Structure 1
Amino acid sequence: MKHFFKLQFIAVIILLISCTDNDENPPAFPEGSTESVNLWVRDSLKRYYYWADQIPAKPDYHLPVKEFFKSLLAPQDRFSFIVNTEDPSSYPRSIRNMYGFDYTVLQQTNGEVVTVIKLVLKDSPAFNAGLERGMIITKINGKTVTASNAEAITSSMKDLTVLDLNVGSWSNGTVTGEKEIKVYYGLSFEQPLLSKIFEKNGKKAGYLYIYDFPDGITQKLSQRFAEFKAAGVQELILDLRYNYGGSVSAAAALCSLIPSGISSASPFIIFKGNKNGGEVKRTFAQQIAYDPKALDFNTLRTNALGLNKVYILTSNSTASAAEIVINNLKPYLQVIQVGDVTLGKDMAGFTVEDKRKPQKIRWQMHPVIYKVFNANGAGEYSNGILPQVSVNEYAALPLLPLGHADETLISSVLNGTYFKSVHKEASTGEVKILYQSDVPPIAVGRNL
């Protein structure tokens, strides 16, 4: 399931078949039984899970595997999950990874409820069907979306293989040009970087939209920054509003391309685990090197902009490695965050699966292993990272394409509205967000 939520970090595959604590005597179960799989699950979590000390002492090994896994998780854990690699239905599903788009249900200032498409992935089923950012959905499978039924409709869409949508354009406060579109379930391909160069107050501002942080992205990042540097870019706008995260190494590579005054030995991140995992500190160079496909730190630095300030656009869908970019740049330059509060995934982990040949256990775990902190030891943002300036992306409809100079979040930076106030609305902001199809996401990936 390559495209589930795109939260990918460097792979660490652990074989844990029998690692029980010496002071416990768990029961013995026949190999291949549900109970034996559950024992493997429990033993793995006891050693690596961040909240291992909260695992029940006497779990019910007779539960189905997925239910058993959930019964061991800490109440505050929103992100750990388990899948059966032989059963596609066991993987987390979302509108984005099934169809390639996301939408938001809004309440206008006059009380009218509208559903607006906020994201359409390139080369996705939605893109190929003709959906565009800014379109208004009037009906989904014959039903009008309301604040009360939006969640139920979204949930039902995850059990289908084709969607019947009625969509139109927003013009002068009303929907025009309605038409019917079918969107079929399918794969979305790797998303391209989007870059622009704007003239801002006599300076050149580089804009870079990054959808996610896959391993191997460093060459593309370096190329875009080389173009910015050659053009004389003096300010930078990073658009991470829909970025679920991905590889921490890719995030470190991006961060290495922005500030001045850092070296390969500059500290980048601190991982803090349970009593077994302890604390792990990594420099920029060390973290980047965990991606075997990455350009090295010194090569990346040849294209660094050497800035003392960066603007980062965020939303409730900004998560994990994207949040690490925000938090871990702060020790090295001024970060001006514009938009909405982020998701709040201040954690990392790695994949746990059976690597025996032949493989005997088909289940694969994605548990939380570490909390993450920046070079100054700052972290603990499980409630999300607050922007310096809150800007409602939906304050003005229709939504303009990402990268457009007049798009709400971009224009709030280019036009200087970020100087108006801190922690207050920089736009009219009276439109209310009632529901978002992609919040909260659960991420599949490699977290170290």
Structure 2
Amino acid sequence: MKIVKLPVNLLFALIFGLSFLFSCTENEETIIQETEETDDTPVSLNNEVNEFVWAGLNEVYLWQQDVPDLADDKFTTYDEYYTFLNGYNTPESLFDDMLYQIDVVDRFSYIVDDYVALENSFQGTSNSNGLDFQLVRLSGSDDVFGYIRYVANNSDAASKDINRGEFFLTVDGVQITVNNYIDLLFGSNNTYTLGMADITNNTIASNGKTVELTKTEFTENPILINKVIESSGIKIGYLMYNGFVANFDNDLNNAIADLKSQNINELVLDLRYNPGGSVRSAINLSSMITGQFNGGIFSTEKWNDKYQAYFESNNPEYLINRFTDKLADDTAINALNLNKVYILTTDGSASASELVINCLRPYIDVVQIGTATTGKYTASVTLYDSPNYGRDNANPNHTYAMQPLVLKSANKNGVSDYYQGLTPDYLITYQTSSGATAEGEDLLNMGTLGDENEVFLAKAISLITGSSSKLMDQKSTPSIDIKRIADAKDFTPLGKGMYKNLEFPVK
């Protein structure tokens, strides 16, 4: 789970009022005294951002106690401290070096040099043309191609002739490869032309079609589809929700109200492309699905040793997130009071998506369909270079901010640490031309999102109705063998993150 911001008064209390908890104040006094007494030419700090990075991670990083270089007593003088910081040429290299088992245990902490773009991403706004896609390559080839997963409503791409299930092979006439795809698709070029392609007999080739797309500052409504499907006399609500964005919680509440007004019997929640977002939105959605557990424990939090000790001694309730019956603006939540929900997932379902699944399971029957999720049970906070790490009074000399992991979540029963992701109850697979069984969506049989015959949704409907007719209509022709490279959401500032709505943006 990817971000958490502490309230100003709490940070001030923690940083300035708890000398027993944080030894930085005493250390600084010692450092100043020793420097003044023993060093006529003190070491100068080369990059003030480096000091922000170390101090912030020392303060609140989840694994601070496990990183020797972040220890509270690591330095006894400013000369030692600054010499250490000057050993890193960039804030990014220092940040990475302070992480606990980077890319193994900590796969999600990150630093940005433009916190404005980061803040926009929390609101669902980014520089985007609205095209969501996955990049893959054929086995044994460095050439990359993309396939469209969905087109965001009211986006530039929505106004163009490009649709789910189509393939593209080139950008501005240049073949996409493992070495150039970042520059071609996620570089500074806001306008580019995709060269579309077809796949025939395990071979992909241009079909002559081109589509020009332009990125703008675009706010994507995470509610892509909200509809009711009637099958075998059962009214099934289908909600495709692609991001936990707090600004759209009222829209989400209205979408649930619409399903409720149509007297749905079951709900299929499609989170297969949802990388996470607001913890509060996750709680709200879970409360909308249920409604009968208001005030019950939704999740609990575990922070680093010093913050955990403080919370447990002074405010243990702070570590508990509870089901609610109101949104942040006190709007009453529209609750479905369901005892079962069907949730569609892929490895792109991360963070707050996983939080919903894990935290609903102790209360209702959660039927997970698709493939295993990402495996992100942690959250991080937005740290700015200011006296209390908040946005106010941030250092005007730069726009760096950090997103270090600061807590991990568990459900009511203490279940956490699902590092390998959450395993589906019903795994979606397909056969490839090599005879292998692959998991997830078949590129050659993507179907139409929200259609009863689309493979993931068809499986949910068959479980609800007890009928296999929809599944029998699926294509049996072997598909192609591919290796997944990346997807469009990997390159948004938020990424696969989760944030809490406190006084500051939280992820």
TM-score (norm 1): 0.80
Q: Does 1:41 align with 2:93?
A: no
- Name stretches of at least 5 consecutive residues in structure 1 with no aligned partner: 1-5, 421-425
Which residue does the alignment assign to 1:82? 111
Distance 1:36 1:26 in 2: 18
Which residue does 1:284 correspond to in 2? 323
Q: Distance in 2 between matches of 1:345 and 1:141?
A: 36
One-letter code aligned to 1:416: L
Helix, strand or coil at the partner of 1:228: helix
Measured at CA, do residues 213 and 409 of structure 1 come closer, stay the same or move farther in structure 2, by a change above 3 Å?
Answer: same
Mapped partners of 1:124, 1:250: distance in 2: 23
Deviation track 1:255-284 (CA, whole Å, cap 9, x = no partner) reads 011236412x21111010111221611211
Residue 180 of structure 1: SS of its match in structure 2?
strand
Structure 1 residues 319 and 30, CA gap change in structure 2 (3 angstroms): farther
Picking from 293, 302, 311, the partner of 1:262 is 293
Matches of 2:291 and 2:393 in 1, distance apart? 48
- Report the Cα offset of residue 156 of structure 1: 4.4
Where does residue 19 of structure 2 map in the other structure? none
* 1-structure distance, mates of 2:129, 2:282: 26
Deviation at 1:35, TM superposition (A): 3.9
**Contact 2:443–2:479 (CA under 8 A) maintained in structure 1:** no
202, 211, 215: which is aligned to 1:185?
215
Cα distance in structure 2, aligned partners of 1:30 and 1:80: 33
Deviations 1:272-330 (A, max 9, x none): 01112216112113xx87x74463xxx21xx3222221110111111111110111110
Q: Is 1:153 aligned to residue 181 of structure 2?
A: yes
CA distance in 1, matches of 2:489, 2:210: 28
| Amino acid corresponding to residue 230 of structure 2 in structure 1 | E
1:96-135 alignment runs, 5 A limit = 98-101=128-131, 102-105=133-136, 115-135=146-166
**Counterpart amino acid of 1:389?**
Y
Against the structure 1 CA distance between its residues 348 and 114, is the aligned structure 2 distance closer, same or farther, given a 3 Å change threshold?
closer
Is contact 2:146–2:167 with CA below 8 Å preserved after alignment? Answer: yes
Give how far 1:440 is off: 8.1
Deviation at 1:177, TM superposition (A): 5.5
CA distance in 2, matches of 1:305, 1:418: 19
Instruction: Tell me what 1:441 maps to.
Output: 490
Could you say what the CA RMSD is over the residues aligned between the two structures, in angstroms?
Answer: 3.9
Normalising by structure 2, what TM-score?
0.71
User: 1:61 pairs with 81, 85, 105, which one?
Assistant: 85
Describe the SS at the equivalent of 1:213: coil
Q: Distance in 1 between matches of 2:187 and 2:144?
A: 25
What residue number does 2:281 align with? 250
3-state secondary structure, aligned to 1:43: helix
Deviation of 1:367 (Å):
0.9
2:448 alignment partner in structure 1 = 401
Encode CA deviations 1:239-266: one digit per residue, 9 max, x unaligned.
Answer: 1111111111111011011236412x21
What pairs up with 1:164-179 in 2 under 5 angstroms?
Answer: 164-168=193-197, 178-179=208-209
- Please identify which structure carries the higher helix content: 2
Range with bigger deviation, 56-65 or 24-33: 24-33
Q: Computing the radius of gyration over CA atoms, which structure comes out larger, 1 or 2?
A: 2
Cα 1:360/1:187, change in 2 over 3 Å:
closer
Q: Does 1:273 align with 2:303?
A: yes
Give the equivalent residue in structure 1 for 2:232.
201
For residues 142-184 of structure 1, the C-alpha deviation after alignment (integer angstroms, 9 at most, x for no partner) is 3445xxx346424543224033311156799887953112223
Aligned residue pairs, count: 420
Distance in 1 separating the partners of 2:178 and 2:329:
41
CA pair 375-97 structure 1, distance change in 2 beyond 3 A: farther
Q: Does 1:375 align with 2:412?
A: yes
Q: Structure 1 residues 86, 34: CA separation in 2 closer, same or farther (over 3 Å shift)?
A: farther
Instruction: Answer whether contact 1:69 1:82 (CA < 8 A) is retained.
Output: yes
Q: Distance in 1 between matches of 2:453 and 2:44?
A: 59
Is contact 2:283–2:322 with CA below 8 Å preserved after alignment? no
- For 1:351 and 1:8, locate their aligned partners in 2 and report how far apart those are by CA, in whole Å: 6
Identity %: 27
In structure 2, the partner of 1:320 is 351
Please state if 1:390 is matched with 2:427: yes
Superimposed CA distance per residue, residues 63-103 of structure 1 (whole angstroms, 9 cap, x where no aligned partner): 221211111111121111122238979x99xxx95443222
Structure 1 residue identity aligned to 2:395? Q
